[in-house]
Structure 1
């Protein structure tokens, strides 16, 4: 009599059927909960805390949180490199966390009168203009190459310097002399220049 089909692996002696909860985690979940991404998420979750601290006029503590966020920004990038833990999720979360913190600081500092309100409007308008332009080009079926411009990097560095200086001086009751007005002028100029550069680049990608 011919032998029947082989028994299922789970019925053979010495073989144990794997439990449902022993299955590997989905790729998206494992990519999200890496150490660099957890640090980035912590920086993103610090945004409402900084907003609340500034509105409550605890700019000294807000300054410390802002510095900690800057350290975490360098730390998560370093960990992603040495642990080979780069991911698409991290590449998206990192600039979102940075921009959310910086814009929130500018808006709240303008609300409490530490920075001019027109500067906060200018900073926010530049970011909205760039993001809106990219979305519009995407809806038109165009995918322009996004390259970090030198003037944009300079603008970001100056924005961070101004936010940190404003929090530090106002938080600890110090007089910075011409420091804040000088930084405000530099941030204004580079914000306008970088926004114009991105608009010019987007215009060049439009079909003739």
Structure 2
């Protein structure tokens, strides 16, 4: 007698049989101490602007100093404990620029900084921000959706500041720090050492380096690196493996 056979067993579904869009994607571990410190700088920036506008010189200077210290600390920790992430390369300069933008706007509003310098600094930052948006979009692997666009744990491009840009960032921070320090110092000290005149000299120095740094990105192939599929996967594996 012929044996009765049951229904055929369906083949097992493996990841190699799934479309690429349905494959599970590995994400970076973005919840690191360096990134948390960077996010705290993002939150501190609006508070600094508020204190500047309300003429609260001491709290404004204290928070600005905190932002500067954490900027150094988070970079050291990321390198020391191998917690560098692609999202860190995005939000770290973002935190710096948010703080700088708010400080420049508020210090210009209260008459500390000249309008022409604010136009140079903010104009350069707007141009770089537009470029960053463009490179993020063209480098994002498909499917290109707004949800995936804002998911910075999906690495697609890395930003590498030029040398003059790093120097300019430091000079801008020193300029803002000096502008915030003057109201805290005794009036006699400011007048004796002509610190107001020194600050005016900083205006022209920072204005020149800001224009120079903006031009340094033009034609510099090392400033923005679009990650290949293999490089993006390698970045995610490194950070997932460190969790």
Q: TM tier, shorter chain?
A: 0.7 to 0.9
Equivalent pairs counted in the alignment come to: 175
Task: Decide which of 6, 27, 47 is 2:45's aligned counterpart.
Answer: 47
Deviations 1:130-189 (A, max 9, x none): 232454577788x99965323222211111110000000124454214210111110011
Compare relative contact order (CA 8 Å, sep 6+) and give the higher one, 1 or 2. Answer: 2
Structure 2 partner of 1:152: 165
Whether 1:186 and 2:205 are equivalent positions in the alignment is: yes
Alpha-carbon offset, residue 194 of structure 1: 1.8
Alpha-carbon offset, residue 83 of structure 1: 2.1
Task: Tell me how far apart the structure 2 counterparts of residues 190 and 115 of structure 1 sit (CA, whole Å).
Answer: 16
Q: Where does structure 2 lack aligned partners over 5 or more consecutive residues?
A: 1-24, 140-155, 222-243
Structure 1 partner of 2:109: 111
Alpha-carbon offset, residue 120 of structure 1: 1.3
Task: Decide which of 154, 158, 180 is 1:167's aligned counterpart.
Answer: 180
Task: Tell me how far apart the structure 2 counterparts of residues 92 and 128 of structure 1 sit (CA, whole Å).
Answer: 15
Contact 2:90 2:159 in 1 (8 A): no
Contact 2:51 2:59 in 1 (8 A): yes
Contact 2:86 2:158 in 1 (8 A): no
Task: Tell me how far apart the structure 1 counterparts of residues 132 and 95 of structure 2 sit (CA, whole Å).
Answer: 19
Alpha-carbon offset, residue 87 of structure 1: 1.7
Given the two structures, how large is their TM-score scaled by the length of structure 2?
Answer: 0.63
Structure 2 partner of 1:90: 88
Deviations 1:11-55 (A, max 9, x none): xxxxxxxxxxxxxxx965x82222111111111110111011111
Measured on the aligned residues, the alpha-carbon RMSD in Å equals 2.8
Structure 2 partner of 1:72: 70
Contact 1:130 1:199 in 2 (8 A): no
Contact 1:114 1:170 in 2 (8 A): no
Structure 1 partner of 2:98: 100
Structure 2 partner of 1:31: 29
Deviations 1:40-91 (A, max 9, x none): 1111110111011111111221111111111111111111122222222222
Moved more, 70-79 or 159-168: 70-79
Contact 1:40 1:72 in 2 (8 A): yes
Secondary structure, in 3 states, of the residue corresponding to 1:132?
helix
Q: Where does structure 1 lack aligned partners over 5 or more consecutive residues?
A: 1-25, 203-208
